[in-house]
Amino acid sequence: MDLVRMTRLWRDSRALRRREWQDPGAYRDLVTARLRDVVHLAATRVPHYRELFREAGVRPDDVHGPEDLAALPITTNRALRDLPREAVTVDGSDFDALYDKWSSGSTGVTLHTWVTPHERDVQALNALRVFHAGGYRARDVLLDLLEPYAPKPRAIERLGLYRKHYIELKEDLADHTDAINRMRPDVVLASATLLDLLCDHAESGALTVRPRLVFNTGERIAPRQRERAKALLGTAPIDVYGASEFGPIAFQCAERDGYHINADGLIVDIVDPATGRPVPPGTVGQVVITGLLGRVMPFIRYSVGDLAALRPGRCACGRGLPLLESVQGRLIDMLLTADGTKVSPWGPTIVLEETPGVDRYQLVQDAPGALLVRIEGGPVDEADVTARLRALLGGTLAVRFEYPDSLTAEGRHKFRLVVNRCAPPSTGA
């Protein structure tokens, strides 16, 4: 790592730690300056936003602060997904020099997000802020169950700092319980369904680890899942609310009560879905985010597909970062093989994420060992997708494909990426 990058990271991390405890009023000028920069960049150099600003009759200079954002329309991952990358990124971007992150978020629509190496560093620093707030220490061994592909170890791990182990998202945890026992992780990073599977293995005696901290991210966790994890893994999970477009958005601290918003890196608006206007604290609304740091692919008034409410007042921990009351993130169910074995839904979601021609998808299970794949877009290579799903869910898996014109949420309920109708739902409070 070069000296310039290290110095910059050091400076950024000190500033992040300082602002964590400050009242947001103390860095309001910083937020305003960052917002004006990103709005100006988007409105002048990103074709998608140039068009949006023009249609809304808003000039970049009209946006003086966060309160002026409401004049702009809300944009969705669906809208961005349908556009070529040149339309959603700063003109002249050199894609070979950028990182591509992808995820379907809550909505089943795969979106590629382009970030600079520096932006990736800053997202990593934000993740560190989140972990430290929960009680993570530099000497801890962290087991990360959420990466589709495990990255190489970083240089810092050779010093015994920030050591990480991975079990890739598409792997079956049942095959790795011995390895996890040997790792003896202090900290586990997982999602609600994966925590449920870990609890199953702890209950059967296959898993014997008692991590000091467990972080849940990427899915809404039900109260009974939380209680079960506390009983079987020895610690109550700490929720982190994030999206691949931004990294961590809001997080529980060790108090596990409310979610601190990373308010120096993004602006979270909670709005009425019908009008786009802000709702009062305590009222559940649509989460709309404006990223303050994106310099390649800005996100302005971007709906991540989740619901949440703002909470007035301060957390008992003393941090100044403002709070969300609740986050109703992604709802995702466990899948079942023909013999009733529970399988993480994440492997199958990666299969769909990586299938060309899929605009949006949903996985529905009505019987163990059977799967309905609903795809907007397509048609896809069904034999190939079936073979890849069978590798995860058993060789006898019966797969049906359906190509509806549009996949939308059922009634007033949130869109469910993976729905299991044949077992008691594994999530949903």
Determine the 3-state secondary structure of 265 from DSSP: coil
Q: Indicate the residue among 239 and 333 with the shorter CB distance to Zn ion.
A: 239
Told to check if 317 binds Zn ion by CB under 5 A, we report: yes
Edge to edge, the sheet with strand 370-377 lists 331-332, 416-420, 358-365, 370-377, 398-402
- Report the alpha-carbon distance of residue 230 to residue 215 in Å, rounded: 12
Token digits for 325? 């009351």
Interface region with Zn ion, contact rule CB under 5 A, candidates 27-35, 309-317, 349-357, 386-394: 309-317
Compute φ and ψ for 401, nearest 5 degrees. -115, 145
Stretch that binds Zn ion, among 26-34, 42-50, 197-205, 313-321 (CB under 5 A): 313-321
Binding flag, residue 325, Zn ion (CB under 5 A): no
Torsion angles phi and psi, residue 314, rounded to 5: -115, 160
Residue 255 backbone phi and psi in degrees, to 5:
-70, -25
Angstrom distance (rounded) from CA 405 to CA 349 = 20
DSSP 278: B
| Cα distance between residue 121 and residue 33, in whole Å | 21
Q: What does DSSP assign to residue 282?
A: T
Binding residue (CB under 5 A) for Zn ion from 315, 336, 373, 407: 315
Q: Name the one range near Zn ion by CB under 5 A: 239-247, 316-324, 331-339, 356-364.
A: 316-324
Distance of CA 381 to the CA centre of its chain: 28
Tell me how far, at minimum, the Cβ of 306 lies from Zn ion, in Å: 20
When asked if residue 253 is in the footprint of Zn ion (CB under 5 A), the reply is yes
Q: Count residues contacting Zn ion (CB under 5 A)?
A: 5
324 binds Zn ion (CB under 5 A): no
Which of the stretches 7-15, 66-74, 114-122, 254-262 binds Zn ion when contact is defined by CB under 5 A? 254-262
Position 261 contacts Zn ion (CB under 5 A): no
Q: Which is nearer to Zn ion, 12 or 255 (CB)?
A: 255
C-beta of 322: minimal distance to Zn ion in Å?
11
CB of 124 to Zn ion, least distance (A): 21
Rounded Cα distance between 84 and 86, Å, is 5
207 interacts with Zn ion by CB under 5 A: no
Q: Site residues (CB under 5 A) for Zn ion?
A: 253, 255, 315, 317, 319
